[in-house]
Amino acid sequence: MKVFLDTNIILDILLEREGYEDSAELFRLQEDGRLSLAISILTMANAAFVYRKTVGQNAVIPNLKYLSALTEVLPMDQDTLQQALYLRGDDFEDILQYCCAAQGACDAIVTRNGKDFIIRSGLKPLEAMIPVYSPSGFLGALVP
pLDDT at res. 125: 45
pLDDT at res. 8: 92
Give me the tens of pLDDT residue by residue for the chain, a chain 144 residues long.
Answer: 999 999 999 999 888 888 889 999 999 999 999 999 999 999 999 988 988 888 777 878 888 898 889 999 999 999 999 888 888 778 889 889 999 999 999 999 999 877 777 666 554 444 457 888 999 999 998 765
The DSSP code sequence of 21-89 is HHHHHHHHHHHTTS-EEEEEHHHHHHHHHHHHHHH-HHHHHHHHHHHHHHSEEE---HHHHHHHHT-B-
pLDDT at res. 120: 60
Please give the CATH architecture assigned to the domain spanning 2-142.
Answer: 3-Layer(aba) Sandwich (3.40)
**Phi, psi (5° rounding) for residue 30?**
-65, -45
pLDDT at res. 29: 93
**Do the bridges between strand 36-40 and strand 72-74 make them parallel or antiparallel, or are there none, so unpaired?**
parallel
Q: Give domain limits for the chain.
A: 2-142
Q: Amino acid letter at 142?
A: L
pLDDT at res. 122: 54
